[in-house]
A = this chain, B = another copy of it.
Amino acid sequence: MNAPLTAPLLPDVQPRPVPPEALAALQARFGAQFSAAQAVREQHGRDESAFTHVPPPAAVVFAESTQDVADAVRLAAQWRVPVIPYGIGSSLEGHLLAVQGGISLDLSRMNRVLAVHAEDLTATVQPGVTRQQLNEALRHLGLFFPIDPGADATLGGMTATRASGTNAVRYGTMRDNVLALEVVTASGAVVRTGTRARKSSAGYDLTRLFVGSEGTLGIFTEITLRLYPLPEAVSAAVCSFPSVEAAVRTTMAIIQMGVPIARCELLDARTVRAVNRHSGLALREEPMLLMEFHGSPGGVREQAETVQALAAEHGGQAFEWASTPEERTRLWTARHHAYFAAVQSRPGCRCITTDVCVPISQLADHVTAAVAEADAAGLPYFLVGHVGDGNFHMGYLIDPDDAGERARAEALNAALVQRAIAGGGTCTGEHGVGLHKMGFLRAEAGEEALALMRAIKRALDPHDILNPGKIVAG
């Protein structure tokens, strides 16, 4: 691994050896659900981050029930073996890499929708259910679950990273939409947090503590989510702008006016070009806002008219409607593929992704500075943003074998993140800390807050077996 990534971003730890007796005990308990095959281990030792050289876990256990998870953790605890939960491998910051060795606990077979309470607008799922799978199961009921990261991630992984996506500006993030959890803790105990009530003041908010804990405090085995009625009317619109700044300033005006926009996505010209090629679209290759409005037919029309007027004030052109479901699906599918479209635009590349969120009054400054720095550095990149939240991503497309490109990308990333922190924002809006952002978390939270996080980690996982070496390690 190259210097700019390893120091200080990867903690200086050695993989702990996994005792053969521990592997034997896991194999005895799990039989065909246990694998130490090289290919299986390697598949569970990589994600979408730029870290490519961390050794894979020593073995993989495929859990099929809460009991399986509890037994796997209990055996691991007995031998002090790290356990890393695994959903679908779409994390972006190195969350699931086995930096201290141990086993991967694959939850993808726990993929049942356990209950849908349509009248209460709640559903309970196993952690391996993906967001698209859940929405398939809900559609006939006239309901949906709004949180939509780019990948078709598992709801377990989305809970673990406090994920959000394009709808968060209207519907909130996983923080707001997880009502209750069943969690296996570091001792193998099965704990329930929260209830199906919409709100509660009953004691410490354990649910919110687990949401975003990235597998370091417990492993989710059931997740109860808030659902929403499918809106009566939906319309999408695209609008092109003379500059990224003009698009961002339009967004700021929309939010400050309180327009209840459901989605407000920024793509820069390069990203529109990649999306056009990848998804066979013919969007104008200029900075673009891709928006969606939810409500009654009259309400949707009214929102769109307000937004169109605001866009025009900032030089927005070619405001176009996508009112049929097919057109809308095509646009949003293309948007969800933007990351992969960009990565495929440079064959063989790895992507170093950034993800910051800033107070919205500063958004235009942060985006334009990031673009100027990336242009000056001469690296290929893409820019997308859930800009209604003040959240945006740059992805620097690097040759993984070129240490110079890595260093330049990391320097761009560091400058952008440090600027966000200095401006009262956060080093990650939705991707999480994983390995890559540990140094930035320290800068953002400060030593005192980090000490509290470490105290909580020690209290809940005294032997440091749950996804060790992430978030607060060191």
Other-chain residue from B120, B189, B425, B471 in contact with A361 (beta carbon distance below 8 A)? B120
Asked whether, in the complex, the Cβ of B449 is within 8 Å of the Cβ of A193, the reply is yes
Can you tell how many copies of this chain the complex includes?
A: 2
A326 within 8 A of B: no
Bound complex: CA A198 to CA B260 (Å): 15
Bound complex: CA A471 to CA B206 (Å): 13
Asked whether, in the complex, the Cβ of B121 is within 8 Å of the Cβ of A256, the reply is yes
Asked whether, in the complex, the Cβ of A431 is within 8 Å of the Cβ of B163, the reply is no
A445 within 8 A of B: yes
Give per-residue flags for A168-190: 1 if the beta carbon is below 8 A from chain B beta carbons, else 0: 10001101100000000100011
Within 8 Å CB of A211, what residues of B?
205
A12 within 8 A of B: no
Residues 188 to 233 of chain A near chain B (Cβ within 8 Å): 189-193, 195-206, 208-209, 211-213, 217, 228-229, 231-232
Closest chain B CB from A238 CB (angstroms): 23
Within 8 Å CB of A164, what residues of B?
199
Interface-forming stretch among A106-114, A292-300, A395-403? A292-300
Other-chain residue from B196, B203, B456 in contact with A433 (beta carbon distance below 8 A)? B203
Which of A121, A426, A432, A458 is the most central at the interface, judged by chain B CB atoms within 10 Å of its CB?
A426
A310 within 8 A of B: no
Give per-residue flags for A415-440: 1 if the beta carbon is below 8 A from chain B beta carbons, else 0: 00000110011111111110001001
Within 8 Å CB of A432, what residues of B?
201
Bound complex: CA A115 to CA B456 (Å): 31
Within 8 Å CB of A428, what residues of B?
200-202
Chain A positions near chain B (C-beta within 8 angstroms) = 117, 119-122, 161-164, 168, 172-173, 175-176, 185, 189-193, 195-206, 208-209, 211-213, 217, 228-229, 231-232, 252, 255-258, 260, 295-296, 298-299, 302, 355, 357-361, 389-391, 420-421, 424-433, 437, 440-441, 444-446, 448-450, 452-453, 455-460, 471-472
Query: Can you offer 22 A-B residue contacts whose CB atoms are under 8 A?
Result: A117-B361, A120-B359, A120-B361, A121-B360, A191-B449, A192-B449, A195-B424, A196-B424, A197-B359, A197-B390, A198-B389, A200-B426, A201-B433, A202-B437, A203-B450, A203-B472, A205-B212, A206-B452, A208-B209, A260-B295, A452-B460, A456-B459
| Contacts A196-B425, A202-B440, A299-B302 known; 20 new A-B pairs at CB < 8 A | A119-B252, A121-B255, A161-B201, A185-B448, A191-B448, A195-B426, A195-B444, A197-B358, A199-B389, A200-B357, A200-B428, A201-B429, A203-B453, A203-B472, A208-B209, A229-B258, A231-B258, A260-B260, A455-B460, A456-B456
